[in-house]
Structure 1
Amino acid sequence: MGHTIFLVEDEAGIRQELSALLSRYGYRCVTTADFEDVAGQVCASGADLLLLDLNLPRYDGYHVCREVRRRSQMPIIVVTSRATELDELMSMNLGADDFLTKPYNTQILLARMARLLQRACPGVSPAVSRGGLTLDLGRGVAARNGVEVELTRNESRILQTLLAAEGRIVSRNALMEALWKSDAFVDDNTLTVNVARLRRRLEELGLSEVLATRRGQGYQLCL
């Protein structure tokens, strides 16, 4: 199991769904239904990253963000239905590292988490697997049936985002967002070139034609 994520979300359904998603992609997810001392629970958990909703009972997310940041330097991503610039500004001023508005694209959330975790904990990265294909982000390696190929950072980010989609089509915009969040220079041609290179790496693993182009929609990993 890779990094530990503390998820603060008061809606049980969302909490369970997101916790299950994170577990599938190599994270250990800690949650709470006790909102009396959230900041204390987060800091005591030893978590590597905090996913924080703003709309909470007892004390709101602003209070939690401020208290966690006062005691810890763990990355904080605010995930909220509040969509105003003021909410984002207040979150950042209180110490949040990123801000994502609900409903959000889970692929983009995973990419932003990976970016922050890579900076905060460069020695640990979860391995993501699907259909016999494993991506080790820490080593920048994709593997299948004992065969490994090295990937560039951009190729790794694209493959991670496609794996997180679980067979769904991923838009070009979502992939460009994932690359941009890894500090890469991105334009439309950059994405096309990197997808073509990733396709060749997958072919080296015996996975021909699994990375499909869906005209007008994006790309799909068919495993």
Structure 2
Amino acid sequence: MYKILIVEDDKILCDNIKQGISKWGYDTFSIENFENVLEEFAKYNPHLVIMDINLPSFDGFYWCQKIRSMSKVPIIFLSSRDSNMDIIMAVNMGGDDFVTKPFSMDILLAKIQAVIRRTYSYGENEVSIIECRGAILNINDGTLVYEEEKIELTKNEFKILQLLMKNKGKIISRDRIMRVLWESEYFISENTLTVNVNRLRKRLEDVGLKDFIVTKKSQGYMIP
């Protein structure tokens, strides 16, 4: 089931969109806190975003740019503004289509289906981010984003974070992490893993993620 995130501050219109596209089997979620669109996006991990341009706090162009910094998920803009400049801005910011208000639900559905078909028919551009405690791991480019800061991760740092973030709240044994890192039963040494984890912790602390990875004595590591 494809997941669609709706970023629209007109509650009546938002509810109408949700009802209209849910009938076609789409899972929908709408933003309520318009200051935390990026965090909600990461938690919901949608296959497509419907984005109004005129929003409280920051406009849709701003949030499109933020989403594009970590994901290629398709974005359809909605707006009562239909000037050429708005359409050009939407495309330049990374939008995939533009729908002018007021609009027919049939038109919106047709555009949603066309964008999803183009994007996912061949299994390309699947949603590939993991969110945990406000930190967003991008599977495509091996980076971590937290509060506007982006970290370029090494191969081992990325593998450690991917495993722990996918299993948030669970203890992952040192042996399992080492198998993921070196794909072998013959480990270099346990100290090598300790060095990798400590280096990663330091980098996380530098951007404000203190105690993000917790050590469980004689068991392994976890993200609580």
User: With structure 1 as the length reference, what TM-score do the two structures score?
Assistant: 0.53
Q: Structure 1 residue 25 and structure 2 residue 9: aligned?
A: no
Task: Within 5 Å, give how 1:142-153 maps onto structure 2.
Answer: none
Q: Structure 1 residue 121 and structure 2 residue 120: aligned?
A: yes
1: CA distance, partners of 2:104 / 2:55: 22
Show structure 2 runs of 5+ residues with no match: 124-224
2: CA distance, partners of 1:110 / 1:30: 16
Number of corresponding residues? 123
45 and 52 in structure 1: CA distance in 2 versus 1, 3 angstrom threshold: same
Larger radius of gyration: 2
1: CA distance, partners of 2:122 / 2:29: 21
Aligned equivalent of 1:64: 63
User: With structure 2 as the length reference, what TM-score do the two structures score?
Assistant: 0.53
Superposition RMSD on alpha carbons, in Å?
1.4
Aligned to 2:103, what secondary structure does the other structure show?
coil
Q: Structure 1 residue 88 and structure 2 residue 100: aligned?
A: no
Code of the residue aligned with 2:37 in structure 1: it is: V
2: CA distance, partners of 1:41 / 1:102: 25
Code of the residue aligned with 1:54 in structure 2: it is: I
Q: Structure 1 residue 74 and structure 2 residue 73: aligned?
A: yes
Q: Structure 1 residue 8 and structure 2 residue 7: aligned?
A: yes
Show structure 1 runs of 4+ deviating over 4 A.
Answer: none
2: CA distance, partners of 1:72 / 1:64: 12
Cα shift at 1:84: 0.8
Question: Do the aligned partners of 1:43 and 1:71 also contact (CA within 8 Å) in 2?
Answer: no
Aligned equivalent of 2:44: 45
Q: Structure 1 residue 104 and structure 2 residue 93: aligned?
A: no
Question: Do the aligned partners of 1:76 and 1:97 also contact (CA within 8 Å) in 2?
Answer: yes
Question: Do the aligned partners of 1:43 and 1:72 also contact (CA within 8 Å) in 2?
Answer: no
Aligned to 1:59, what secondary structure does the other structure show?
coil
Cα shift at 1:123: 6.5
Cα shift at 1:40: 2.6
Cα shift at 1:64: 0.5
